[in-house]
């Protein structure tokens, strides 16, 4: 028909169908969601600085990601980390490339310490992301709690 476009049309049609089913399922829950949204706005409005604090965390996240990626790449290129990788050059003669062709491959073996340091760096990335996220979450929870209980 249109060189494979029919499969995309079928997938898009299924997506629209399931979105329609979901809309029909949640339609009766919209008034409750509207009341919840009005209550949330009413609880945050007296302390609007919390919203700006949440928005200010976006650059903090971006800065953390950029700094972490920079130091992660730099630390993998240090002499210590390079010494934890053993490279072996393997030369194959012949094979599927012909009798006179040589195929050079390099096999790298990393030590257990290399994998441990790699894991700890990933853990530090995850941990700090969670600290940044939970700081804002606790601040907002305190503000909303003040609205309800004070």
Pick the residue with more confidence: 83 or 127?
A: 127
Q: Which residue has the tokens 């992660």?
A: 72
Provide mean pLDDT across the span 61-68: 93
Which stretches of the chain are assigned E, i.e. beta strand? 85-93, 102-110
pLDDT at residue 95 tops 60: no
* Whole-number Å distance between alpha carbons of 13 and 11: 5
CA dist 92 to 99, 100, 102, 107, 147, Å?
A: 10, 10, 6, 13, 73
The reported pTM is 0.62
SS3 (DSSP) at 4: coil
Confidence at 111, pLDDT banded by 50, 70, 90: confident
Which pLDDT tens digit goes with each residue over 82-93? 888 787 766 655
> Mind listing the pLDDT tens digit for each residue in 17-63?
999 999 999 999 999 989 999 998 888 888 888 888 888 889 999 99
| pLDDT, tens digit (0-9, with 9 covering 90-100), for 135-147 | 999 998 888 888 8
Q: Is the pLDDT of residue 6 over 90?
A: no
| Closest C-alpha to 104, from 115, 113, 114, 95 | 95
Residue 102 pLDDT > 70: no
CB 43 within 8 A of CB 143: yes
CA distance 115 to 109: 11
In this structure, what token pair is assigned to residue 56?
Answer: 């200010």
Question: Predicted confidence band at 101 (pLDDT cuts at 50, 70, 90)?
Answer: low
| N-to-C CA span, the chain | 66
């Amino acid at each position: 028909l249109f060189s494979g476009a029919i499969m995309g049309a079928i997938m898009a049609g299924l997506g629209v169908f399931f979105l329609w089913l979901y809309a029909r399922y949640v339609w009766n829950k919209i008034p409750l969601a509207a009341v919840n949204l009005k209550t949330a706005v009413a609880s945050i409005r007296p302390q609007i600085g919390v919203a700006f604090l949440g928005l200010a965390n976006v650059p903090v996240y971006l800065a953390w990601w950029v700094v972490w990626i920079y130091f992660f790449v730099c630390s993998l290129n240090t002499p210590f980390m390079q010494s934890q990788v053993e490279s072996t050059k393997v030369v194959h003669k012949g094979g599927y490339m012909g009798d006179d062709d040589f195929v050079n491959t390099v096999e790298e073996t990393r030590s257990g310490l290399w994998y441990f340091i790699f894991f700890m760096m990933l853990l530090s990335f995850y941990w700090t992301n969670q600290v940044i996220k939970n700081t804002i979450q606790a601040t907002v929870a305190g503000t909303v709690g003040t609205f309800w209980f004070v």
